[in-house]
Chain A
Amino acid sequence: MNKIAFVILILSFFCLGASNIADQCDTDKLANNCIPKLTAGFNFLKSYKVDGSTKDKVEYSYVFMKGTQYMINLCANGADTDGVVVSILDKDRNKVASSKINGQIVSAINYPCNASGIYYIQYTFEDATSRCGGSALGFKR
Protein backbone atom coordinates (compact mmCIF):
# COMPACT_ATOMS: atom_id res chain seq x y z
CA MET A 1 0.00 0.00 0.00
CA ASN A 2 2.82 2.36 0.92
CA LYS A 3 4.52 1.66 -2.43
CA ILE A 4 1.35 2.49 -4.40
CA ALA A 5 0.95 5.73 -2.49
CA PHE A 6 4.57 6.63 -3.17
CA VAL A 7 4.23 6.00 -6.93
CA ILE A 8 1.05 8.09 -7.10
CA LEU A 9 2.76 10.86 -5.16
CA ILE A 10 5.71 10.92 -7.59
CA LEU A 11 3.33 10.90 -10.59
CA SER A 12 1.28 13.76 -9.19
CA PHE A 13 4.38 15.90 -8.66
CA PHE A 14 5.46 15.11 -12.21
CA CYS A 15 2.10 16.16 -13.65
CA LEU A 16 1.97 19.25 -11.47
CA GLY A 17 5.47 20.21 -12.58
CA ALA A 18 4.68 19.66 -16.27
CA SER A 19 1.56 21.78 -16.12
CA ASN A 20 3.43 24.56 -14.30
CA ILE A 21 6.15 24.61 -16.98
CA ALA A 22 3.43 24.81 -19.64
CA ASP A 23 1.77 27.65 -17.76
CA GLN A 24 5.06 29.54 -17.53
CA CYS A 25 5.41 29.56 -21.31
CA ASP A 26 2.79 32.17 -22.06
CA THR A 27 3.69 32.84 -25.69
CA ASP A 28 0.59 34.96 -26.26
CA LYS A 29 1.63 37.31 -23.49
CA LEU A 30 5.25 37.45 -24.66
CA ALA A 31 4.18 38.11 -28.27
CA ASN A 32 1.85 40.90 -27.13
CA ASN A 33 4.61 42.37 -24.93
CA CYS A 34 6.79 42.66 -28.02
CA ILE A 35 4.37 44.85 -30.02
CA PRO A 36 4.96 48.13 -28.14
CA LYS A 37 8.69 47.44 -28.20
CA LEU A 38 8.84 47.96 -31.98
CA THR A 39 10.90 51.05 -32.67
CA ALA A 40 8.88 54.24 -33.27
CA GLY A 41 8.02 54.71 -36.92
CA PHE A 42 7.45 51.00 -37.59
CA ASN A 43 3.87 49.92 -38.24
CA PHE A 44 2.88 46.68 -36.56
CA LEU A 45 2.14 43.77 -38.92
CA LYS A 46 2.12 40.51 -37.00
CA SER A 47 3.05 38.93 -33.70
CA TYR A 48 4.49 35.45 -33.43
CA LYS A 49 4.39 32.88 -30.65
CA VAL A 50 7.68 31.09 -30.08
CA ASP A 51 7.25 27.84 -28.19
CA GLY A 52 10.27 25.58 -28.56
CA SER A 53 9.39 23.23 -25.71
CA THR A 54 8.83 20.28 -28.06
CA LYS A 55 10.85 21.22 -31.16
CA ASP A 56 14.27 22.47 -32.24
CA LYS A 57 12.96 25.44 -34.17
CA VAL A 58 9.78 27.43 -34.71
CA GLU A 59 9.14 28.70 -38.21
CA TYR A 60 6.73 31.06 -39.96
CA SER A 61 6.77 32.50 -43.45
CA TYR A 62 6.04 35.97 -44.81
CA VAL A 63 6.27 37.80 -48.12
CA PHE A 64 8.79 40.61 -47.72
CA MET A 65 8.78 43.37 -50.31
CA LYS A 66 11.66 45.22 -51.89
CA GLY A 67 11.98 48.82 -50.69
CA THR A 68 10.29 48.11 -47.37
CA GLN A 69 12.17 48.15 -44.08
CA TYR A 70 11.14 45.47 -41.59
CA MET A 71 11.87 45.11 -37.91
CA ILE A 72 11.57 41.85 -35.98
CA ASN A 73 12.05 41.88 -32.23
CA LEU A 74 12.19 39.21 -29.56
CA CYS A 75 10.77 38.94 -26.07
CA ALA A 76 11.43 36.13 -23.60
CA ASN A 77 10.94 35.32 -19.96
CA GLY A 78 13.43 37.20 -17.84
CA ALA A 79 16.25 39.25 -19.18
CA ASP A 80 16.98 39.83 -22.86
CA THR A 81 16.22 37.09 -25.37
CA ASP A 82 17.10 34.05 -23.22
CA GLY A 83 19.02 32.49 -26.10
CA VAL A 84 16.19 32.81 -28.65
CA VAL A 85 17.62 33.70 -32.06
CA VAL A 86 15.57 34.89 -35.03
CA SER A 87 16.82 34.39 -38.58
CA ILE A 88 15.36 35.25 -41.96
CA LEU A 89 15.91 32.73 -44.75
CA ASP A 90 15.00 33.16 -48.41
CA LYS A 91 12.87 30.66 -50.34
CA ASP A 92 16.00 28.58 -51.06
CA ARG A 93 16.85 28.71 -47.36
CA ASN A 94 19.84 31.01 -47.73
CA LYS A 95 20.27 33.07 -44.58
CA VAL A 96 19.67 36.79 -45.23
CA ALA A 97 19.44 38.06 -41.65
CA SER A 98 20.01 36.91 -38.08
CA SER A 99 19.81 38.31 -34.57
CA LYS A 100 23.06 36.50 -33.76
CA ILE A 101 25.82 38.73 -35.07
CA ASN A 102 29.48 37.93 -34.38
CA GLY A 103 28.43 35.62 -31.56
CA GLN A 104 26.24 38.24 -29.87
CA ILE A 105 22.46 37.79 -29.71
CA VAL A 106 20.44 41.00 -30.01
CA SER A 107 16.76 41.51 -29.25
CA ALA A 108 15.80 43.12 -32.57
CA ILE A 109 16.85 43.22 -36.20
CA ASN A 110 16.27 45.91 -38.77
CA TYR A 111 15.98 44.38 -42.23
CA PRO A 112 15.62 46.67 -45.25
CA CYS A 113 14.45 44.21 -47.90
CA ASN A 114 16.07 44.50 -51.28
CA ALA A 115 14.50 41.45 -52.94
CA SER A 116 10.77 40.67 -52.94
CA GLY A 117 9.80 37.10 -52.19
CA ILE A 118 8.64 34.51 -49.71
CA TYR A 119 10.90 34.28 -46.69
CA TYR A 120 11.04 32.05 -43.63
CA ILE A 121 11.18 33.63 -40.18
CA GLN A 122 12.93 31.02 -38.09
CA TYR A 123 13.38 30.96 -34.31
CA THR A 124 16.09 28.75 -32.79
CA PHE A 125 17.33 28.30 -29.23
CA GLU A 126 20.90 28.60 -27.99
CA ASP A 127 21.38 27.63 -24.34
CA ALA A 128 17.86 28.90 -23.75
CA THR A 129 16.50 28.09 -20.29
CA SER A 130 12.79 28.29 -21.13
CA ARG A 131 12.77 27.91 -24.96
CA CYS A 132 9.80 30.21 -24.87
CA GLY A 133 9.25 33.64 -26.31
CA GLY A 134 7.30 36.05 -28.44
CA SER A 135 8.12 38.27 -31.36
CA ALA A 136 6.63 41.13 -33.36
CA LEU A 137 7.07 42.18 -36.97
CA GLY A 138 6.72 45.77 -38.12
CA PHE A 139 7.40 47.72 -41.30
CA LYS A 140 8.14 51.19 -42.57
CA ARG A 141 8.92 52.59 -45.99
Chain B
Amino acid sequence: MMRIFVIGVLTAFLVSCATEKKPDDQEFLKSIETIEEKTGIDEEKINSILDQIPSPLESSVLLKESGSKFNGSLLNQSENLPKYNNNFKKALNLGVYGTDLGYTNIYRQNQISIEYVSSIKSLADDLNIGQFFDVETIGRLATNSKNLDSLLLITTLNFNHINHYLQTEGRDNLSVLLLTGGWLEAMQITCQVATKKPSKQLFEKIGEQKIILDQILELFSFYGDDASMAALLKDLEPLKAAYAKININYTYKESSMEIVNGVGVIKDNSTTTIDITEQNIEEIKTIINSIRTKIIS
Protein backbone atom coordinates (compact mmCIF):
# COMPACT_ATOMS: atom_id res chain seq x y z
CA MET B 1 0.00 0.00 0.00
CA MET B 2 2.84 2.29 1.03
CA ARG B 3 4.67 1.51 -2.21
CA ILE B 4 1.64 2.49 -4.31
CA PHE B 5 1.34 5.73 -2.37
CA VAL B 6 5.03 6.62 -2.95
CA ILE B 7 4.77 5.82 -6.70
CA GLY B 8 1.65 7.99 -6.94
CA VAL B 9 3.29 10.91 -5.17
CA LEU B 10 6.45 10.58 -7.27
CA THR B 11 4.37 10.60 -10.46
CA ALA B 12 2.48 13.71 -9.32
CA PHE B 13 5.80 15.36 -8.48
CA LEU B 14 7.35 14.61 -11.86
CA VAL B 15 4.26 15.61 -13.85
CA SER B 16 3.71 18.87 -11.98
CA CYS B 17 7.35 19.93 -12.16
CA ALA B 18 7.60 18.98 -15.83
CA THR B 19 5.05 21.67 -16.71
CA GLU B 20 7.51 24.33 -15.53
CA LYS B 21 9.77 24.00 -18.57
CA LYS B 22 9.01 21.68 -21.47
CA PRO B 23 11.82 19.99 -23.40
CA ASP B 24 10.76 21.98 -26.50
CA ASP B 25 11.13 25.26 -24.59
CA GLN B 26 14.60 24.24 -23.44
CA GLU B 27 15.65 23.33 -26.98
CA PHE B 28 14.28 26.60 -28.26
CA LEU B 29 16.12 28.63 -25.61
CA LYS B 30 19.29 26.67 -26.36
CA SER B 31 19.00 27.45 -30.07
CA ILE B 32 18.58 31.18 -29.33
CA GLU B 33 21.66 31.12 -27.10
CA THR B 34 23.61 29.37 -29.83
CA ILE B 35 22.66 32.05 -32.37
CA GLU B 36 23.74 34.79 -29.97
CA GLU B 37 27.03 33.07 -29.19
CA LYS B 38 27.72 32.48 -32.87
CA THR B 39 26.99 35.98 -34.09
CA GLY B 40 27.83 38.04 -31.02
CA ILE B 41 24.65 39.99 -31.72
CA ASP B 42 22.75 41.45 -28.78
CA GLU B 43 19.30 40.12 -29.67
CA GLU B 44 17.61 41.83 -26.73
CA LYS B 45 18.98 45.23 -27.72
CA ILE B 46 17.97 44.72 -31.36
CA ASN B 47 14.46 43.63 -30.45
CA SER B 48 14.09 46.58 -28.10
CA ILE B 49 15.01 49.04 -30.88
CA LEU B 50 12.81 47.25 -33.41
CA ASP B 51 9.84 47.49 -31.05
CA GLN B 52 10.17 51.23 -30.54
CA ILE B 53 10.01 52.27 -34.19
CA PRO B 54 6.60 53.68 -35.11
CA SER B 55 4.32 52.26 -37.75
CA PRO B 56 4.49 53.89 -41.24
CA LEU B 57 0.71 54.07 -40.92
CA GLU B 58 1.15 57.20 -38.79
CA SER B 59 2.67 59.01 -41.79
CA SER B 60 -0.12 57.88 -44.11
CA VAL B 61 -2.77 59.16 -41.70
CA LEU B 62 -0.95 62.49 -41.46
CA LEU B 63 -0.80 62.80 -45.27
CA LYS B 64 -4.50 62.14 -45.64
CA GLU B 65 -5.39 64.58 -42.87
CA SER B 66 -3.14 67.24 -44.39
CA GLY B 67 -5.51 67.25 -47.37
CA SER B 68 -3.10 65.51 -49.73
CA LYS B 69 -4.88 63.51 -52.45
CA PHE B 70 -4.14 59.84 -53.16
CA ASN B 71 -1.29 59.43 -55.65
CA GLY B 72 -0.68 55.87 -56.79
CA SER B 73 2.37 56.88 -58.84
CA LEU B 74 4.27 57.46 -55.58
CA LEU B 75 4.05 53.77 -54.72
CA ASN B 76 6.13 50.77 -55.73
CA GLN B 77 4.13 49.01 -58.43
CA SER B 78 3.16 45.42 -57.64
CA GLU B 79 4.42 44.46 -61.14
CA ASN B 80 7.95 44.85 -59.76
CA LEU B 81 7.47 41.73 -57.63
CA PRO B 82 9.35 39.27 -59.93
CA LYS B 83 12.49 41.42 -59.64
CA TYR B 84 12.95 40.48 -55.99
CA ASN B 85 14.87 37.24 -56.21
CA ASN B 86 16.80 37.06 -52.95
CA ASN B 87 15.86 37.26 -49.27
CA PHE B 88 17.51 40.65 -48.83
CA LYS B 89 15.37 42.27 -51.53
CA LYS B 90 12.29 40.28 -50.58
CA ALA B 91 12.43 41.48 -46.95
CA LEU B 92 13.07 45.10 -47.91
CA ASN B 93 10.24 45.14 -50.43
CA LEU B 94 7.91 43.34 -48.05
CA GLY B 95 8.34 46.44 -45.89
CA VAL B 96 7.90 48.74 -48.90
CA TYR B 97 4.69 47.01 -49.99
CA GLY B 98 3.48 46.98 -46.38
CA THR B 99 3.69 50.77 -46.28
CA ASP B 100 2.02 51.01 -49.69
CA LEU B 101 -0.80 48.77 -48.45
CA GLY B 102 -1.28 51.01 -45.40
CA TYR B 103 -1.35 54.08 -47.67
CA THR B 104 -3.91 52.56 -50.05
CA ASN B 105 -6.00 51.36 -47.11
CA ILE B 106 -6.07 54.81 -45.51
CA TYR B 107 -7.25 56.29 -48.82
CA ARG B 108 -9.70 53.39 -49.27
CA GLN B 109 -8.27 52.37 -52.63
CA ASN B 110 -9.68 48.88 -52.31
CA GLN B 111 -8.74 47.44 -55.71
CA ILE B 112 -5.12 48.58 -55.44
CA SER B 113 -4.98 47.32 -51.84
CA ILE B 114 -5.89 43.82 -53.00
CA GLU B 115 -2.99 43.87 -55.50
CA TYR B 116 -0.60 44.77 -52.68
CA VAL B 117 -2.05 42.06 -50.44
CA SER B 118 -1.24 39.53 -53.15
CA SER B 119 2.36 40.80 -53.57
CA ILE B 120 2.89 40.84 -49.80
CA LYS B 121 1.60 37.29 -49.45
CA SER B 122 3.95 36.12 -52.20
CA LEU B 123 7.02 37.73 -50.57
CA ALA B 124 5.99 36.52 -47.11
CA ASP B 125 5.58 32.95 -48.40
CA ASP B 126 9.04 33.07 -49.98
CA LEU B 127 10.47 34.16 -46.62
CA ASN B 128 8.56 31.37 -44.82
CA ILE B 129 6.42 33.82 -42.88
CA GLY B 130 3.33 33.62 -45.09
CA GLN B 131 1.42 31.81 -42.35
CA PHE B 132 1.16 35.09 -40.45
CA PHE B 133 -0.43 36.99 -43.31
CA ASP B 134 -4.15 36.30 -43.38
CA VAL B 135 -4.68 37.10 -47.04
CA GLU B 136 -8.25 35.77 -47.11
CA THR B 137 -9.52 37.99 -44.27
CA ILE B 138 -7.59 41.04 -45.49
CA GLY B 139 -8.87 40.54 -49.04
CA ARG B 140 -12.45 40.26 -47.77
CA LEU B 141 -12.17 43.35 -45.56
CA ALA B 142 -10.53 45.35 -48.37
CA THR B 143 -13.55 44.92 -50.63
CA ASN B 144 -15.72 47.07 -48.37
CA SER B 145 -14.64 50.56 -47.35
CA LYS B 146 -16.80 50.30 -44.21
CA ASN B 147 -14.29 47.79 -42.86
CA LEU B 148 -11.38 50.23 -42.71
CA ASP B 149 -10.82 49.96 -38.95
CA SER B 150 -10.84 46.16 -39.03
CA LEU B 151 -8.61 46.16 -42.11
CA LEU B 152 -6.01 48.42 -40.48
CA LEU B 153 -6.19 46.37 -37.29
CA ILE B 154 -5.66 42.99 -38.92
CA THR B 155 -2.90 44.31 -41.21
CA THR B 156 -1.04 45.79 -38.24
CA LEU B 157 -1.52 42.60 -36.21
CA ASN B 158 -0.18 40.47 -39.09
CA PHE B 159 2.96 42.60 -39.44
CA ASN B 160 3.44 42.59 -35.64
CA HIS B 161 3.20 38.77 -35.65
CA ILE B 162 5.71 38.55 -38.51
CA ASN B 163 8.18 40.78 -36.67
CA HIS B 164 7.71 38.92 -33.40
CA TYR B 165 8.20 35.56 -35.13
CA LEU B 166 11.35 36.70 -36.94
CA GLN B 167 12.79 38.04 -33.70
CA THR B 168 12.07 34.90 -31.69
CA GLU B 169 13.48 32.74 -34.48
CA GLY B 170 16.75 34.67 -34.48
CA ARG B 171 16.00 36.04 -37.97
CA ASP B 172 15.93 39.62 -36.75
CA ASN B 173 18.04 40.76 -39.72
CA LEU B 174 14.95 40.21 -41.88
CA SER B 175 12.87 42.15 -39.37
CA VAL B 176 15.36 45.05 -39.62
CA LEU B 177 15.12 45.00 -43.43
CA LEU B 178 11.33 44.83 -43.36
CA LEU B 179 11.22 47.83 -41.07
CA THR B 180 13.81 49.79 -43.05
CA GLY B 181 11.99 49.17 -46.35
CA GLY B 182 8.74 50.34 -44.78
CA TRP B 183 10.33 53.43 -43.30
CA LEU B 184 12.10 54.43 -46.54
CA GLU B 185 8.86 54.07 -48.49
CA ALA B 186 6.95 56.21 -45.98
CA MET B 187 9.75 58.79 -46.11
CA GLN B 188 9.70 58.81 -49.90
CA ILE B 189 5.94 59.37 -50.04
CA THR B 190 6.08 62.10 -47.36
CA CYS B 191 9.00 63.92 -49.05
CA GLN B 192 7.28 63.85 -52.44
CA VAL B 193 4.08 65.28 -50.97
CA ALA B 194 5.95 67.86 -48.87
CA THR B 195 7.83 69.26 -51.86
CA LYS B 196 4.67 69.46 -53.97
CA LYS B 197 2.55 70.91 -51.19
CA PRO B 198 4.89 72.39 -48.56
CA SER B 199 3.61 72.71 -45.00
CA LYS B 200 5.27 73.25 -41.63
CA GLN B 201 3.59 70.09 -40.34
CA LEU B 202 5.04 67.89 -43.10
CA PHE B 203 8.47 69.52 -42.83
CA GLU B 204 8.52 68.80 -39.10
CA LYS B 205 7.35 65.25 -39.76
CA ILE B 206 10.35 64.74 -42.05
CA GLY B 207 12.70 66.48 -39.61
CA GLU B 208 11.68 64.38 -36.62
CA GLN B 209 12.53 61.23 -38.61
CA LYS B 210 16.11 61.96 -37.53
CA ILE B 211 15.19 60.07 -34.34
CA ILE B 212 14.13 57.01 -36.33
CA LEU B 213 17.12 57.16 -38.66
CA ASP B 214 19.43 57.09 -35.63
CA GLN B 215 17.68 53.93 -34.44
CA ILE B 216 17.90 52.30 -37.88
CA LEU B 217 21.60 53.12 -38.16
CA GLU B 218 22.18 51.60 -34.73
CA LEU B 219 20.38 48.45 -35.87
CA PHE B 220 22.53 48.19 -38.99
CA SER B 221 25.70 48.56 -36.91
CA PHE B 222 25.03 45.04 -35.56
CA TYR B 223 25.29 43.49 -39.02
CA GLY B 224 28.65 44.71 -40.28
CA ASP B 225 29.58 41.15 -41.33
CA ASP B 226 26.64 40.91 -43.72
CA ALA B 227 27.77 42.31 -47.10
CA SER B 228 24.28 43.28 -48.29
CA MET B 229 23.42 45.05 -45.05
CA ALA B 230 26.81 46.76 -44.95
CA ALA B 231 26.19 48.05 -48.49
CA LEU B 232 22.79 49.42 -47.49
CA LEU B 233 24.33 51.04 -44.42
CA LYS B 234 26.81 52.76 -46.74
CA ASP B 235 23.88 54.06 -48.81
CA LEU B 236 22.29 55.41 -45.62
CA GLU B 237 25.41 57.39 -44.64
CA PRO B 238 24.62 60.42 -46.88
CA LEU B 239 21.18 60.53 -45.29
CA LYS B 240 22.82 60.65 -41.87
CA ALA B 241 24.97 63.55 -43.08
CA ALA B 242 21.91 65.41 -44.37
CA TYR B 243 20.10 64.90 -41.08
CA ALA B 244 23.14 66.13 -39.13
CA LYS B 245 22.16 69.62 -40.33
CA ILE B 246 18.76 69.37 -38.64
CA ASN B 247 18.37 70.24 -34.98
CA ILE B 248 15.67 68.92 -32.68
CA ASN B 249 15.48 70.84 -29.42
CA TYR B 250 13.59 69.26 -26.55
CA THR B 251 12.33 71.11 -23.48
CA TYR B 252 10.77 69.20 -20.60
CA LYS B 253 7.96 70.75 -18.62
CA GLU B 254 5.82 68.82 -16.17
CA SER B 255 2.55 67.55 -17.65
CA SER B 256 -0.86 68.18 -16.14
CA MET B 257 -3.28 65.27 -15.80
CA GLU B 258 -6.96 64.86 -15.03
CA ILE B 259 -9.53 62.09 -15.15
CA VAL B 260 -12.34 62.53 -17.67
CA ASN B 261 -15.00 59.78 -17.91
CA GLY B 262 -12.63 57.26 -16.33
CA VAL B 263 -9.76 58.01 -18.72
CA GLY B 264 -6.59 59.83 -17.70
CA VAL B 265 -6.25 62.84 -19.99
CA ILE B 266 -2.74 64.23 -20.19
CA LYS B 267 -1.72 67.73 -21.19
CA ASP B 268 1.83 67.43 -22.42
CA ASN B 269 3.62 70.68 -21.65
CA SER B 270 6.98 69.53 -23.01
CA THR B 271 7.94 70.74 -26.47
CA THR B 272 10.25 70.01 -29.36
CA THR B 273 11.25 72.52 -31.97
CA ILE B 274 12.65 71.26 -35.25
CA ASP B 275 14.93 73.45 -37.35
CA ILE B 276 14.48 72.36 -40.96
CA THR B 277 14.47 74.28 -44.26
CA GLU B 278 13.15 73.61 -47.77
CA GLN B 279 16.73 72.99 -48.86
CA ASN B 280 17.06 70.30 -46.19
CA ILE B 281 13.85 68.66 -47.43
CA GLU B 282 15.09 68.73 -51.04
CA GLU B 283 18.40 67.13 -50.07
CA ILE B 284 16.71 64.41 -47.99
CA LYS B 285 14.22 63.70 -50.77
CA THR B 286 16.99 63.24 -53.35
CA ILE B 287 18.94 60.83 -51.14
CA ILE B 288 15.83 58.86 -50.16
CA ASN B 289 14.83 58.51 -53.84
CA SER B 290 18.25 57.25 -54.74
CA ILE B 291 18.25 54.57 -52.01
CA ARG B 292 14.67 53.57 -52.72
CA THR B 293 15.29 53.23 -56.47
CA LYS B 294 18.07 50.74 -55.72
CA ILE B 295 15.78 48.79 -53.42
CA ILE B 296 12.74 48.49 -55.65
CA SER B 297 14.61 47.94 -58.95
Q: Do residues B211 and A61 form an inter-chain contact, with CB atoms below 8 A?
A: no
Q: Do residues B61 and A98 form an inter-chain contact, with CB atoms below 8 A?
A: no
Residue from the list A4, A15, A96, A139 in contact with B268, Cβ < 8 A: A96
Residues on the A chain within 8 Å of B272, using CB:
66, 114-117
Residues on the A chain within 8 Å of B149, using CB:
43
Residue of A nearest to B160 (CB): A46
B264 close to A (CB within 8 Å): yes
B204 close to A (CB within 8 Å): yes
Q: Do residues B248 and A44 form an inter-chain contact, with CB atoms below 8 A?
A: no
- Chain A, interface size: which category? 35 or more
Query: CA–CA, A101 to B205, complex, Å?
Result: 31
Among B155-181, those with CB < 8 Å from A are: 156-157, 160
Q: Do residues B204 and A107 form an inter-chain contact, with CB atoms below 8 A?
A: no
- Chain B, interface size: which category? 35 or more
Known pairs A46-B160, A115-B250; A63 contacts B12 (CB<8 A): no
Query: CA–CA, A47 to B161, complex, Å?
Result: 11
Query: CA–CA, A111 to B268, complex, Å?
Result: 7
Q: Do residues B61 and A5 form an inter-chain contact, with CB atoms below 8 A?
A: no
Among A6-50, those with CB < 8 Å from B are: 8-9, 11-13, 15-16, 18-19, 22, 35, 39, 43-47
Known pairs A63-B211, A97-B264; A44 contacts B156 (CB<8 A): yes
Interface Cβ pair total, 8 Å cutoff: 165
Q: Which residues of A contact B (CB under 8 A)?
A: 1-2, 4-5, 8-9, 11-13, 15-16, 18-19, 22, 35, 39, 43-47, 60-68, 90, 92, 94-99, 101-102, 104, 106-118, 139-141
A12-B9, A44-B156 are known; give 19 further A-B pairs, CB within 8 A. Answer: A12-B17, A19-B19, A63-B53, A63-B54, A63-B212, A65-B58, A68-B58, A92-B252, A98-B257, A99-B264, A101-B264, A109-B264, A109-B265, A110-B265, A111-B268, A115-B252, A115-B270, A139-B61, A141-B65
16 contacts between A and B (CB under 8 A): A2-B2, A8-B13, A9-B9, A12-B17, A62-B51, A62-B54, A94-B270, A95-B255, A96-B270, A97-B266, A109-B266, A112-B268, A115-B252, A115-B271, A116-B272, A118-B52
9 A-B pairs closest in CB distance: A12-B13, A16-B16, A109-B264, A114-B268, A15-B17, A116-B208, A15-B16, A115-B270, A19-B19
